[in-house]
Amino acid sequence: MNMQLNETHDPALRSWVASANTAGTDFPIQNLPFCVFRRAGSDEAYRGGVAIGDQIVDLGRLGSALSGVSAEARSAAALAAQPTLNALMDAGPAAWSALRLALSHLLRGDAAPRPELLVAQAAAEYALPAQIGDYTDFYTSIHHATAVGKLFRPDNPLLPNYKWVPIGYHGRSSTIGVSGQRFHRPRGQTRGASETEPVFGPSKRLDYEMEVGIFVGGGNAGGAPIAAADAERHVFGLCLLNDWSARDLQAWEYQPLGPFLAKNFATTISPWIVTLEALAPYRAPWTRDAADPQPLPYLDYPALRDSGGFDVELEVLLQTAAMRNAGMAPVRISLSNFRHSYWTVAQLMAHHTVNGCVLRAGDLLGSGTQSGPDAAEAGSLLELSGGGKQPLTLPNGEQRVFLEDGDTIEMRGWASRDGRPRIGFGAVSGTVLAPR
């Protein structure tokens, strides 16, 4: 499905919510991403919300505000008011689009202001936007795969199957948390190059991974394969995702079966899900080097090369405990873009289901670390530090090769294009605590 532009994408639209019209805001009226929230510190039920400027439209309060809109939009709004967005995700793209259009009309500058529908983002707390039944993490950046491969296999960095098949593994949904997650440094077995036996203890090579999360909308009942050309009809939207990784645990355990304790202790996602409809003006061509294998037929589709990708900037910032105590803001350590991905969102969905695997609304796919072709575009410390051999020096003089206790990683994402507003993903942050 190649989403067509419609009236909700009009760059001239303005909102009666003044902060939505500010240059550089993540949440103009053309965005309208979804979350699940409640007032901070309250015992209110969590419910769906939509960002507009620095406010949240409380989808549990819409009521008469949607009188006169389509029955489909009203039905979708009722689904969105629930404590999770799973039912809305399962309703499908027609319902999502109808609700988006109704909200766009409700919030436009020529509509009657309804401030009673709003809650300030600064006064809210967030929950996971969906009950995540299953989580799969992919490995879609050839630049990341090559850079990491060179650290372990200098003469053969990229394994032969990489250019033929989207590589992934099944992760653990139970330890996925929303932005603000704080977790203890994981412990496990490690074995250094000079050691003959493994030792047990806290990870010494803790890392982050800058990823894009993909929330499944309607699933594939009965395990019917989802065709690549239809796959985006089954994608509710995208979020930011940090797949924390214990590199020393990973190096010891990953052969022959792949990631386990090195990956399943914490994954952090942003509270906001940006719909594919909102990202329609920011599609990007997908390219594959002519010397590389071209996708097998089940991974190919008509819109692939013209608009299979997404032009989304991805930023990583680091704040140490010392920086935080001194009042220093997080500092950028890398900037990449989702358009560099070797495999597209649609290809991941098609490959995941081609063998009969069932996906359900609310399932989450991770894109894998999104690194670009330049060294400064690396999406992990493993790459930025050359495997721990080249420390990063921060503005306060501290150095990092891997994460220390008290470090906070913040990630941001946004799409922008001349003549169009910035469509932002907000931020996802997480903090490393001392081991238990």
**pLDDT, tens digit, 9 for 90 and up, residues 146-189:** 999 988 788 888 988 999 999 999 999 999 999 999 999 999 99
Is 211 annotated among the ligand-binding residues? yes
pLDDT at 230: 97
Distance CA 435, CA 278 (A): 41
Over pLDDT 90: what percentage of the chain? 93
Torsion angles phi and psi, residue 277, rounded to 5: -65, -40
Domain CATH code at residue 378: 3.90.850.10
Burial class (CB in 10 A: 0-12, 13-18, 19+), 320: buried
- Helix (H) / strand (E) containing 252: helix 247-253
Is 410 annotated among the ligand-binding residues? no
Tokens 């991941």 correspond to what residue? 348
Tell me, yes or no, whether 244 lies in a domain: yes
Torsion angles phi and psi, residue 203, rounded to 5: -60, 135
Residues paired with residue 214 on neighbouring β-strands, in sequence order: 238, 365
Distance CA 423, CA 125 (A): 22
Q: Are residues 139 and 99 in the same domain?
A: no
Instruction: Tell me, yes or no, if 351 is annotated catalytic.
Output: no
From start to end of 217-368, where are the E strands? 235-243, 245-246, 267-269, 274-275, 283-284, 309-310, 313-319, 331-337, 364-366
From start to end of 80-175, where are the E strands? 118-120, 124-127, 135-138, 168-170
Structure tokens at 278: 């909102």
Q: Are residues 172 and 71 in the same domain?
A: no
**Domain edge (last residue) among 80, 104, 127:** 127
Tell me, yes or no, whether 1 lies in a domain: no
Within 10 Å of residue 199's Cβ, how many Cβ atoms? 10
For residue 431, give every residue at least 6 positions away whose Cβ sits within 8 Å of its Cβ, in sequence order, or none: 181, 182, 183, 406, 407, 408
Distance CA 370, CA 335 (A): 10
| Residue 2 predicted with pLDDT over 80 | no
Q: Are residues 93 and 170 in the same domain?
A: no
Distance CA 130, CA 178 (A): 11
pLDDT at 198: 96
Is 377 annotated among the ligand-binding residues? no
Residue range 352-358: mean pLDDT, rounded? 98
**Domain edge (last residue) among 107, 127, 147:** 127
pLDDT at 152: 79
pLDDT at 67: 87
Tell me, yes or no, whether 2 lies in a domain: no
Distance CA 232, CA 303 (A): 11
Q: Are residues 158 and 195 in the same domain?
A: yes
C-beta separation of 267 from 243 below 8 A: yes
Q: Helix axis angle, 71-80 relative to 93-107, nearest 10°?
A: 90
Q: Are residues 104 and 173 in the same domain?
A: no
Closest CA to 238 of 350, 155, 346, 141: 346
Give 112's pLDDT tier (boundaries 50, 70, 90): very high
Catalytic position from the list 9, 105, 143, 144: 144
Q: Are residues 183 and 332 in the same domain?
A: yes
Q: Are residues 147 and 96 in the same domain?
A: no
Is 139 annotated among the ligand-binding residues? yes
Is 8 annotated among the ligand-binding residues? no
pLDDT at 8: 98
What is the number of structural domains in the chain? Answer: 2
Is 208 annotated among the ligand-binding residues? no
| Residue 22 predicted with pLDDT over 70 | yes
Is 254 annotated among the ligand-binding residues? yes
Q: Are residues 15 and 53 in the same domain?
A: yes
Tell me, yes or no, whether 331 lies in a domain: yes
pLDDT at 273: 99
User: Which has more confidence, 151 or 372?
Assistant: 372
Q: Which residues form the domain of 107? A: 7-127
| Residue 1 predicted with pLDDT over 70 | no
Tell me, yes or no, whether 323 lies in a domain: yes
Is 324 annotated among the ligand-binding residues? no
Could you tell me the CA-to-CA distances from 334 to 16, 186, 194, 266, 331 in Å, in that order? 36, 25, 32, 21, 9
Q: Are residues 200 and 154 in the same domain?
A: yes
Write the pLDDT tens digit of every residue in 208-227.
999 999 999 999 989 999 99
| Residue 271 predicted with pLDDT over 80 | yes
pLDDT at 154: 86
Distance CA 159, CA 161 (A): 6
Mean pLDDT of the chain: 96
Residue range 372-384: mean pLDDT, rounded? 97
First to last CA, the chain: 47
Q: Are residues 143 and 193 in the same domain?
A: yes
Give 63's pLDDT tier (boundaries 50, 70, 90): confident
Task: Name the pTM for this structure.
Answer: 0.97
The amino acid sitting at 175 is: T
Q: Are residues 161 and 207 in the same domain?
A: yes
Residue range 331-351: mean pLDDT, rounded? 98
Is 369 annotated among the ligand-binding residues? yes
Tell me, yes or no, whether 231 lies in a domain: yes
Give 144's pLDDT tier (boundaries 50, 70, 90): very high
Tell me, yes or no, whether 58 lies in a domain: yes
**Domain edge (last residue) among 106, 127, 148:** 127
Q: Are residues 251 and 382 in the same domain?
A: yes
Domain CATH code at residue 25: 2.30.30.230
Distance CA 138, CA 367 (A): 5
pLDDT at 256: 86
Give 3's pLDDT tier (boundaries 50, 70, 90): low
For residue 25, give every residue at least 6 positions away whose Cβ sits within 8 Å of its Cβ, in sequence order, or none: 19, 53, 54, 421, 422, 424
